[in-house]
Structure 1
Amino acid sequence: MKKRKILVTNALTYANNTLHLGHMIGYIQADIWSRFQKMNGHDCVYIGGSDGHGTPIMIRAEQENKDPAAFIEAIQTEQQKICRDFLIDLTHFYTTHSEENKTLADMIYARLQKQGDIIKRTIEQAYDPIKKLFLPDRYVKGECPKCGAKDQYGDSCEICSATYSPMELKNPVSILSGQTPVTRTSEHYFFRLSHYEAKLKQWSTENHLPVEAINKLNEWFEAGLQDWDISRDVPYFGFKIPGTEDKYFYVWFDAPLGYFSILQHWCQLTGKTDFDDYLDPHSNVELYHFIGKDIMYFHTLFWPAVLMSAELKTPTKISIHGFLTIDGQKMSKSRGTFIKAQTYLDHLHPEYFRYYAASKLTSRIEDIDLNLEDFRLKINADLVGKVVNLASRCAGFIQKYFDNHLSDVYENESLIDEFKEASATIATCYEEREFAQAVRLIMQLADRANQYIDEKKPWVTIKDPAQVHQTHITCTMGLNLFRLIMIYLKPILPEIAAKTEIFLNIAPLTWNDINTLLLNHPIHVFAPLMQRIDPAAIETLKQAEKNHP
């Protein structure tokens, strides 16, 4: 297999608040995919970080009487810890508020200017006369001008996906003061997105996007692409546009550049000299973005168009997931359906959620529902009842009767072959981000393994001196089947995989290990790998969010 060079990114999380479980869907999806690549020996770098600019951050820092830079640094530290606690194997976690990102933003802006893709235009925009500042799109709410949905933000409608400017809303209101914004004029800088419509149409047909995204792009193409305002007025927290005194890059201009600047920061820290390969449009580097559907517009239109203008590498694939709902409802603290990532970690193991998310994730843009009762039942049935129990029931016999040493022979080669032959299909599911299908196939194998043990009945054969050797073979087979299952589950359950490696006395599992068996091999004493979820733990989790802001 040819070694691939891959840059994986998850959408940079905004540095104005704590992470909730919805944020973790993207991190986990990207983590599973990148771990699978690493298990196959590929050079895969996984970048994450905090998006650290914009008016919301400026306002939040002011409310807390903090310097914006210090404010986002604290949030960044918290977000990084949560990712680590969710077992997200990030190569590097950093911020967009960095010298590397400023230099990159200035460089790319200069390239866009050289291409003739930057123009100035006087615009009208929403201004809060009470707070005395121009309002970001999402600081204006009102009724969608297209479908009439109420309580929509000033940039796009969550109901019909229409895009518009804040003052196009019906009955617009500033969320800062509650007052109706007024319209004021200002000179802004625009990227000529319309120049790249033909190239974007071509790019969208080259298997870079899910089919649902392609359909949405075709709607936007049909409506005609509008040039993109990449500037904001003072006061603003961000990077000043070169050659200006009172204009700043819009956060969505420099935020995706953070994918590259965070990579550059890591390269500098580690002495890597191949950073330019990741930007070179002619290199063999693959660029995979994992994002939520709420930021599809920026990543599938603006971002590739900017990269085209700057003559840099465009994304190989953009994987897009839907929103997370809880018990079929949008997140709501009053209903107990809002769960912060840290609150979850305070009460439940991260691999429970990693597995449940994987069992729902596909390559399609679909919302994912965390049904808490189904969540509990699935973890208890699949992971504890099928996978962990398989190891536990076999290890007990190996420890008690065979001095923690596996047999030197095995049986039922056709069953072993069945497990090995599943490798190609499961690998394809991982590669194509069809994690739910991968989980279904792996659980089918777990069922087959447990069926084998049930048929062999080692608890019966161990009582017959003539069948003690058969019991040894049976349990050796069971642990080998368990090991094969854990190879397949390792991208999803890295901590249980690590515990399995210790228990089985083996080196870190790779995908190629599917071709070998453990025979005449010493193992360690089995220790519990995972506990069942008690119903009370779910209720405690829900109550914790209701009781804390």
Structure 2
Amino acid sequence: MTKAIKKFLVTCALPYANGSIHLGHLLEHIQADIWVRYQRLCGHKVYFICADDAHGTPIMLKAQQLGIAPEQMITNIKTEHEADLLDFNISYDNYHSTHSEENRQLSELIYGRLKKNGFIKNRTIFQFYDPIQKMFLPDRLIKGTCPKCKAVDQYGDNCEVCGAIYRSTALIEPKSVLSGAMPELRTSEHLFFDLPSFSKMLKKWTRSGALQEPIVNKLQEWFTSGLQQWDISRDAPYFGFEIPNTPNKYFYVWLDAPIGYIASFKNMCNKYTDIDFNEFWKKDSTTQLYHFIGKDIIYFHSLFWPAILEGSQFRKPTKLVVHGYLTINGQKMSKSRGTFIKARTWLQYLDSDSLRYYYASKLSTSINDIDLNIEDFIKCINANIVNKVVNLASRNASFITRQFSGKLASQIANPNLYQTFLEASDKIGNFFENCEFNSAIREIMMLADIANRYIDEQAPWILAKQEGANVDLHEVCSMGINLFRIVMTWLKPILPSLSRRAEIFLQRELNWQDIINPLLNCTIQPFHVMYRRIEKTAVNAMIESSKNTLK
């Protein structure tokens, strides 16, 4: 059944512009890219955008440490980020920066509307000041003991153990991350966004189906404890946008960073005049806006961000797709163990499709953490991609090439089996649609097993030796190639590099709608190795390299 064409705008959380892309970042970018590629494969119109989050004190301080201007540093980092994401086949239509004229204009516009509508409040507050560095400290440069669960070594804005949100002044035994000094409390006038004014709207929106159930339950705790006004200003020195008519005060990064989604799209619209900016961001937009994010930033995206949008007359997100953290071998990524792995380091030893497939095999709508177990990864890739999928093509293609000049048969050998595969497409498609990629993988691999079992039962290597069995051999092997084609079409959103090689082999583009029509009387290319096994020596070398190069 033909689906109505939908229009989507899809984003990932913005990588911070003070370090390299690593495997933790890639979990989210790959998750979003698989979903986007599936939607495009179904014929929908998708604009997939992102940007570097390029403001804040940490960026200012790192640039000072490197002896270069912050603008130069974020330009260098953006170039690196874009190259890494492209080499993992993340299919962004536009990748921008929050340090841009579009973002400045939009931040000032949104702030102006919020202020005009009475949602910006002035208040003098106490905040921590580092007497050695002679600067006010942002939340992420203060660490101490969580005031709620008493977990040690927690940041000044939220606890990574219990998820509590608090002001940095509530930390027990706070210390400056910069100098290790006990910070002093000093007063400063700040600007606050009146988040509590949006409580009624947020309670309704968070129950609208935009969020996963565990997230909705977590938000109820925050509603029960009461929403707080949100500090949106920071004192100089600070790398960011100065607040209009407020000298030495800058927009807090969590104000202008999500506005970077809008700014990146605006930048894209400026490049391609056929895209209607207002169609996607006006308050009554009928397009769909999806944000893929990690569970550590749900407070900002599910409360602060939709309230900002509502208060400034922009549309709210259709859906937040939230994932858990990444662990490796059951533990946090570790530099000393060599499991804090950069994207570029991975690509020096392994291919991008292998990580994309393994992540897909683990990803669902659950917000539980995702574990990349190295031993399981090697077994998974070799057993599934090599032995089940690629082998399905190789074991049939040689007969088609040698005995039938590369031409497939004129009819399907087993129409009932082919129909079984066709009927599975809707189920697999629904798994992709709902971000249940692990379920899609299980279903696809089950059917790949069935396809290989069919070839085992028909035994073309025996038919090739039998007198008068040429027709059967031709049809059986052609059937195997057609089943391979269906399996690869299903896997195309996950394995773009392997899919391109499969398309060259089949001399056909893999398209979801075309699955219904088998390849008959057409020519395929001779089979060449499409994918090589993962060797443990390569994985060990990658881990050793990560120990040696990461600082």
- With normalisation by structure 2, the TM-score equals 0.99
2:515 matched to which residue of 1? 514
**Is it true that 1:62 corresponds to 2:55 in the alignment?**
no
**Is it true that 1:472 corresponds to 2:471 in the alignment?**
no
Q: 287, 312, 315: which is aligned to 2:314?
A: 312
Q: CA deviation at 1:273?
A: 4.1
Query: Is contact 1:45-1:91 (8 Å) kept?
Result: yes
How far, CA to CA, are the matches of 1:49 and 1:312 in structure 2?
Answer: 20
What is the 5 A alignment of 1:449-488? 449-488=451-490
What is the 5 A alignment of 1:411-490? 411-490=413-492
The one-letter code of the counterpart of 1:240 is E
How far, CA to CA, are the matches of 1:211 and 1:110 in structure 2?
Answer: 34
Consecutive unaligned residues of structure 1, counting only runs of 5 or more, are none
How far, CA to CA, are the matches of 1:358 and 1:388 in structure 2?
Answer: 18
How far, CA to CA, are the matches of 1:120 and 1:396 in structure 2?
Answer: 75
More displaced, 405-414 or 182-191? 405-414
SS of alignment partner, residue 468 of structure 2: helix
SS of alignment partner, residue 447 of structure 2: helix
SS of alignment partner, residue 480 of structure 2: helix
**Is it true that 1:545 corresponds to 2:546 in the alignment?**
yes
Q: CA deviation at 1:344?
A: 0.7
How far, CA to CA, are the matches of 1:317 and 1:529 in structure 2?
Answer: 37
More displaced, 354-363 or 273-282? 273-282
How far, CA to CA, are the matches of 1:465 and 1:131 in structure 2?
Answer: 88
- With normalisation by structure 1, the TM-score equals 0.99
How far, CA to CA, are the matches of 1:77 and 1:433 in structure 2?
Answer: 30
Query: Is contact 1:329-1:337 (8 Å) kept?
Result: no
**CA deviation digits over 1:429-475, x for unaligned, max 9?**
11110000000000011000000000000011100121121111111
Q: 245, 248, 256: which is aligned to 1:246?
A: 248
Query: Is contact 2:158-2:165 (8 Å) kept?
Result: yes
Q: CA deviation at 1:382?
A: 0.3
Q: CA deviation at 1:49?
A: 1.5
How far, CA to CA, are the matches of 1:347 and 1:166 in structure 2?
Answer: 42
What is the 5 A alignment of 1:339-418? 339-418=341-420
Q: CA deviation at 1:281?
A: 2.1
Query: Is contact 1:390-1:482 (8 Å) kept?
Result: yes
SS of alignment partner, residue 158 of structure 2: coil
SS of alignment partner, residue 248 of structure 1: strand
How far, CA to CA, are the matches of 2:113 and 2:530 in structure 1?
Answer: 54
More displaced, 24-33 or 403-412? 403-412
How far, CA to CA, are the matches of 1:211 and 1:480 in structure 2?
Answer: 40
The one-letter code of the counterpart of 2:303 is L
SS of alignment partner, residue 281 of structure 1: coil
2:532 matched to which residue of 1? 531
**CA deviation digits over 1:351-390, x for unaligned, max 9?**
0000000000001211100000000000000000000000
How far, CA to CA, are the matches of 1:356 and 1:458 in structure 2?
Answer: 32
1:88 matched to which residue of 2? 90
SS of alignment partner, residue 184 of structure 1: strand
More displaced, 472-481 or 330-339? 330-339
1:303 matched to which residue of 2? 305
The one-letter code of the counterpart of 2:292 is F
Query: Is contact 2:485-2:510 (8 Å) kept?
Result: no
More displaced, 353-362 or 525-534? 525-534
2:142 matched to which residue of 1? 140
How far, CA to CA, are the matches of 2:87 and 2:260 in structure 1?
Answer: 23
**Is it true that 1:270 corresponds to 2:304 in the alignment?**
no
SS of alignment partner, residue 359 of structure 1: helix
Identical residues among aligned pairs (%):
51
Q: CA deviation at 1:333?
A: 1.1
Consecutive unaligned residues of structure 2, counting only runs of 5 or more, are none
SS of alignment partner, residue 190 of structure 1: strand
**Is it true that 1:290 corresponds to 2:292 in the alignment?**
yes
2:115 matched to which residue of 1? 113
**Is it true that 1:101 corresponds to 2:99 in the alignment?**
no
SS of alignment partner, residue 256 of structure 1: helix
Q: CA deviation at 1:412?
A: 1.4
How far, CA to CA, are the matches of 1:225 and 1:272 in structure 2?
Answer: 41
SS of alignment partner, residue 362 of structure 2: coil
Q: 12, 15, 18: which is aligned to 2:14?
A: 12
Q: CA deviation at 1:283?
A: 2.0
Q: CA deviation at 1:398?
A: 0.7
SS of alignment partner, residue 215 of structure 1: helix
Q: CA deviation at 1:527?
A: 1.5
The one-letter code of the counterpart of 2:27 is I
What is the 5 A alignment of 1:150-189? 150-189=152-191
SS of alignment partner, residue 14 of structure 1: coil
**CA deviation digits over 1:461-512, x for unaligned, max 9?**
1001211211111110000000000110000011111111111011x22210
How far, CA to CA, are the matches of 2:132 and 2:467 in structure 1?
Answer: 89
1:36 matched to which residue of 2? 38
Q: CA deviation at 1:548?
A: 1.3
Change (3 A) 1:515 1:265: same
Q: 236, 260, 269: which is aligned to 2:238?
A: 236
How far, CA to CA, are the matches of 2:168 and 2:61 in structure 1?
Answer: 19
SS of alignment partner, residue 13 of structure 1: coil
How far, CA to CA, are the matches of 1:192 and 1:514 in structure 2?
Answer: 53
How far, CA to CA, are the matches of 2:320 and 2:353 in structure 1?
Answer: 25
How far, CA to CA, are the matches of 1:184 and 1:392 in structure 2?
Answer: 71
**CA deviation digits over 1:388-428, x for unaligned, max 9?**
00001111111111111101111211110110001111111
How far, CA to CA, are the matches of 2:531 and 2:94 in structure 1?
Answer: 29
**Is it true that 1:503 corresponds to 2:487 in the alignment?**
no
**Is it true that 1:280 corresponds to 2:304 in the alignment?**
no
SS of alignment partner, residue 486 of structure 2: helix
**CA deviation digits over 1:322-345, x for unaligned, max 9?**
111000010111122211111111
How far, CA to CA, are the matches of 1:100 and 1:336 in structure 2?
Answer: 39
SS of alignment partner, residue 77 of structure 1: helix
**CA deviation digits over 1:208-247, x for unaligned, max 9?**
0011110111000000000000000000000111111111
2:331 matched to which residue of 1? 329
How far, CA to CA, are the matches of 1:262 and 1:121 in structure 2?
Answer: 32
Q: CA deviation at 1:272?
A: 2.9
Q: CA deviation at 1:169?
A: 1.1
How far, CA to CA, are the matches of 1:111 and 1:374 in structure 2?
Answer: 52
Query: Is contact 2:306-2:317 (8 Å) kept?
Result: yes
For this pair of structures, how many residues does the alignment match? 548
**What's the RMSD between the two structures over aligned residues?**
0.8
How far, CA to CA, are the matches of 1:237 and 1:510 in structure 2?
Answer: 46
Q: CA deviation at 1:303?
A: 0.2
**CA deviation digits over 1:90-140, x for unaligned, max 9?**
101110100000000011111101211001000111110100111110111
How far, CA to CA, are the matches of 2:117 and 2:80 in structure 1?
Answer: 40
SS of alignment partner, residue 255 of structure 1: helix
Q: 183, 197, 200: which is aligned to 1:198?
A: 200
How far, CA to CA, are the matches of 2:139 and 2:430 in structure 1?
Answer: 41
**CA deviation digits over 1:55-76, x for unaligned, max 9?**
0000000110111111101001
